[in-house]
């Protein structure tokens, strides 16, 4: 058996393991974000949105659907990897991979794959719920799909790095609570940044989630506040940087080997 | 043929300054059943963790069947199966899935992995539990699960770090038989244990490690020849009123029906029985007071510390 074939099997094994893990506990992993997003649709889209009218020339409910789907994907891709990796460290079953001939880059890609799968599973479920409130129209399936997959990959890597450094269960909730959620809420999920004063528009430009939400919204509605290429560049740049950091940490054994 | 395990000048100093290994050399021949003994904190688990790539070494070299960990890490890892001291499987996974995943990490296709898992679960008496979550297993079953997991990729070298800790005697003996069988089939085994009876029963060669240094490395038989004196417990058939004065024997009266005798290696047991018989003392059974290896182990550790 060649190394490439062996590595391919190992990669698939990690993905299957991860998918089975979150599927087994779907009441904790899939259902809550679907209910939360359903409430957002009802309250922000249905009740408040009816009074807001249009945003960027689009019905408010239709405007927030892509952002809410993206918000669910981001938080779930992140949460999946950080909790799975930290649990495997905490319970020490990460050692199953560490003693085996699985290269570190495959461990990263495997966990990332698991995070993408959870992100997409939740994203699909939220999209289905959104159909009760907004007709599904996809302007560019290629853009929508590529942006959602790349964004899930980015936040899976971020979750992995959080998991590598985490030393307690508190450590795995700090970043989602104090960094991820504020950035997502301020990332143009509920509004167009053209509504903001010039100063805050400038500040918002430093929020990478803004570009992801906008690019994803373009995939659905065909409107965006930024160049699509800028969005892709930022997402891919972050992916490469985070992958490099994660690989360095695992190669050095930081957080996983003494 | 390369050695199953070859360690040269292995050192490990942890970040807190603890010098766990001080330059150990160790060779294990292919097919051997080898015991690595030592008191708690001696460096056994650190050695094993370095071999299994779970701990980074400070210096020195380790090779498994000729594959150096620094140069051919993945080839070395393929030769190794590890049963760690503490349970380290996902307790929320079904038993068979744990084995199938482990096989997958070694590149075994999923279909073949299910069959491989079945084989080892049957052999280790866990087949009925294959669909149960691992957390529901008893302690003995968890130990056997870890052995099955370590074997699922059919390694050439199996390292077991106290595999029978906390396991009842019946399961322990069935595990001994299983380990003997796989050793006879060609798998080299390195065992650490606190049950010295286990090492004496299973292993052919032995190394004793203390304070990060190998203080003895020989065959079990060779080691036992170093034993100069053994203490036997004699159970008497009739109560003994007073301790007889037998010239040339060191006897102690434990109670009315029990004597202890310290017998030098060069003294024949026959002479003791002749002398006891002459005094009218009938012995109905006898046994070693302590395991022979245990006596030697304590002696060597004490001697090493005195130095």
Q: Give B92-116 pLDDT, tens digit per residue.
A: 999 999 999 999 999 999 999 999 9
Contact A6 B106 (CB under 8 A): yes
Q: What is the pLDDT of residues A55-98, one digit of tens each?
A: 888 899 999 999 999 999 999 999 999 999 999 999 999 999 99
Residue A66 lies in a domain: yes
Stretch among A1-10, B52-61, B215-224, B292-301 having the lowest mean pLDDT: B292-301
pLDDT number for residue B166: 78
The verdict on a CB contact (< 8 Å) between A99 and B54 is yes
Q: What is the pLDDT of residues B111-146, one digit of tens each?
A: 999 999 999 999 999 999 999 999 999 999 999 999
Quote the number of domains for chain A. 1
Contacts of B149 in chain A (CB under 8 A): 96
The answer as to whether A257 is a domain residue is no
Looking at the complex, report in whole angstroms how far the Cα of residue B224 sits from the nearest Cα belonging to chain A: 35
- The pLDDT value given to residue B292: 67
Residue A258 lies in a domain: no
Residue B246 has pLDDT above 70, yes or no: yes
Measured CA to CA in angstroms, residue A184 lies from A21, A155, A219, B29, B54 at distances of 26, 12, 18, 59, 37
Choice between A195 and B264, residue whose per-residue pLDDT is larger: A195
Tell me whether residue A9 is in a domain: yes
Residue A65 lies in a domain: yes
Region B212-224 average pLDDT = 88
Q: Using N-to-C axis directions, what is the helix angle for B110-123 and A3-24, rounded to 10°? A: 70
> The tokens of B288 are what?
């070693």
How far A25 CA lies from chain B's nearest CA (Å)? Answer: 10
Q: For chain B, give the percent of residues with pLDDT over 70.
A: 96
CB contact under 8 Å between A96 and B101, yes or no, is yes
Minimal Cα distance from A97: which residue of B?
A: B105
Share of chain B above pLDDT 90, in %: 61
pLDDT, mean of residues A238-248: 98
pLDDT tens for each residue of B287-302: 887 666 676 677 777 7
According to the model, what pLDDT value does residue A194 have?
85
Q: What is the mean pLDDT of chain A?
A: 93
Of A88, A98, A100, the CB nearest to B106: A100
pLDDT at B276 over 90: no
> Which pLDDT belongs to residue B91?
95
pLDDT of B266 > 80? The answer is no
Q: Given an 8 Å threshold on Cβ–Cβ distance, is A102 in contact with B90? A: no
DSSP B126: -
> For an interface test with A, which of B80, B89, B105, B132 has the most A Cβ atoms less than 10 Å from its Cβ?
B105
Contacts of A162 (CB under 8 A, 6+ apart): A78, A82, A86, A171, A172, A175
Asked if A7 and B107 come within 8 Å (Cβ–Cβ), the reply is: yes
pLDDT band at A121 (very low <50, low <70, confident <90, very high): very high
pLDDT recorded at residue B227: 66
The pTM score is 0.87
Chain A contact set for B104 (CB, 8 A): 9-10, 12-14, 16-17
* Structure confidence by residue, pLDDT tens digits, B219-238: 988 877 776 677 888 899 88
Q: Residue A28: inside a domain, yes or no? A: yes
Q: Is the dihedral of CA B65, B66, B70, B75 positive or negative?
A: negative
Give the tens place of pLDDT for each residue, A181-227: 899 889 888 888 888 888 888 888 999 999 999 999 999 999 888 89
Domains present along chain B, CATH in parentheses: 5-224 (3.40.50.300), 229-306 (3.30.70.1560)
Q: What pLDDT does A84 receive?
A: 97
Give the pLDDT band (50/70/90) at residue B81.
very high
Q: Give the model's pLDDT for residue B186.
A: 95
**B242 or B138: which carries more pLDDT confidence?**
B138
Dig out the tokens for B86 from the structure.
């503490």
For residue B236, CA distances in Å to B27, B182, B256, B286 come to 46, 42, 8, 9
Q: How far is CA B43 from CA A14, A167, B13, in A?
A: 32, 25, 11
Structural domain including A76 reads 3-252
pLDDT value for B290: 67
Q: Which residues lie across from B205 on neighbouring strands?
A: B34, B219
Q: Nearest CB to B107: which of A6, A91, A257?
A: A6
User: How high is the mean pLDDT of chain B?
Assistant: 90
Question: For B82, which residue in chain A has the nearest alpha carbon?
Answer: A99
User: Which residues on adjacent β-strands are paired with residue B250?
Assistant: B262
Above pLDDT 90, what percent of chain A?
73
Q: What is the percent of chain A with per-residue pLDDT over 70, rounded to a whole number?
A: 100
Q: What is the pLDDT of residue B114?
A: 97
Q: Which is nearest to A6 in space by CA: B210, B104, B125?
A: B104
A79, part of any domain: yes
* Within-domain flag for A138: yes
């Amino acid at each position: 058996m060649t190394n490439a074939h062996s590595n391919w099997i190992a990669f698939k094994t990690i993905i299957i393991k991860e998918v089975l893990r979150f599927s087994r506990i779907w009441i904790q992993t899939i259902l809550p974000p679907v209910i939360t997003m359903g409430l957002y649709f009802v309250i922000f889209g249905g009740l408040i949105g009816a009074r807001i009218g249009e945003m960027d020339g689009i019905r408010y409910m239709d405007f927030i659907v892509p952002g809410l789907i993206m918000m669910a994907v981001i938080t779930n891709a992140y949460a999946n990897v950080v909790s799975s990796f930290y649990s495997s460290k905490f319970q020490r079953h990460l050692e199953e991979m560490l003693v085996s001939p699985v290269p570190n880059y495959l461990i990263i890609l495997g966990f990332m794959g698991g995070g993408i799968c959870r992100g997409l599973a939740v994203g699909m479920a939220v999209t289905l719920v959104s159909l009760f409130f907004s007709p599904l129209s996809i302007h560019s399936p290629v853009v929508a799909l590529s942006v959602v997959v790349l964004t899930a990959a980015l936040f899976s890597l971020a979750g992995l790095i959080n998991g590598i450094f985490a030393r307690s269960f508190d450590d795995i909730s700090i970043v989602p609570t104090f960094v991820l959620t504020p950035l997502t809420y301020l990332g143009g999920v509920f509004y167009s940044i053209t509504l903001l004063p010039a100063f805050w528009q400038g500040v918002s430009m430093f929020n990478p989630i803004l570009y992801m939400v906008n690019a994803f919204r373009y995939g659905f509605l065909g409107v965006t506040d930024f160049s699509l290429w800028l969005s892709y560049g930022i997402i891919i740049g972050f992916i490469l940087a985070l992958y490099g950091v994660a690989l360095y940490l695992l190669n050095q054994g930081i957080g996983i080997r003494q | 043929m390369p050695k199953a395990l070859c360690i040269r000048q292995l050192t490990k100093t942890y970040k807190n300054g603890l010098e766990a290994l001080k330059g150990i050399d160790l060779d294990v021949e292919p097919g051997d059943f080898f015991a690595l003994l030592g008191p708690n904190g001696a460096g056994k688990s650190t050695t094993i963790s370095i071999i299994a790539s779970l701990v980074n070494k400070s210096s020195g070299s380790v090779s498994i069947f000729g594959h150096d960990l620094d140069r051919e890490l993945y080839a070395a890892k393929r030769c190794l199966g590890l049963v760690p001291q503490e349970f380290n499987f996902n307790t929320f996974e079904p038993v068979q899935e744990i084995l199938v995943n482990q096989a997958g990490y070694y590149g075994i296709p999923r279909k073949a992995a299910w069959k491989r898992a079945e084989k080892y679960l049957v052999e280790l008496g866990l087949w009925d539990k294959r669909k149960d979550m691992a957390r529901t297993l008893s302690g003995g079953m968890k130990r056997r699960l870890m052995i099955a997991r370590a074997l699922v990729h059919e390694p050439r070298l199996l390292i077991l770090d106290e595999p029978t800790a906390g396991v009842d005697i019946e399961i322990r003996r069935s595990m001994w038989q299983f380990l003997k069988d796989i050793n006879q089939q060609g798998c080299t085994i390195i065992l650490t244990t606190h049950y010295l009876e286990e090492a004496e029963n299973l292993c052919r060669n032995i190394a004793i490690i203390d304070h990060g240094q190998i203080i003895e490395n020989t065959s079990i038989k060779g080691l036992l020849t170093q034993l100069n004196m053994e203490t036997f417990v004699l159970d008497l058939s009739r109560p003994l009123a007073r301790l007889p004065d037998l010239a040339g024997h060191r006897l102690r009266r434990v109670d009315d029906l029990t004597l202890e005798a310290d017998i030098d290696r060069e003294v024949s047991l026959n002479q003791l029985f002749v002398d006891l018989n002459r005094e009218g003392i009938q012995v109905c059974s006898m046994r070693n007071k302590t395991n022979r290896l245990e006596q030697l182990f304590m002696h060597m550790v004490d001697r090493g510390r005195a130095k």
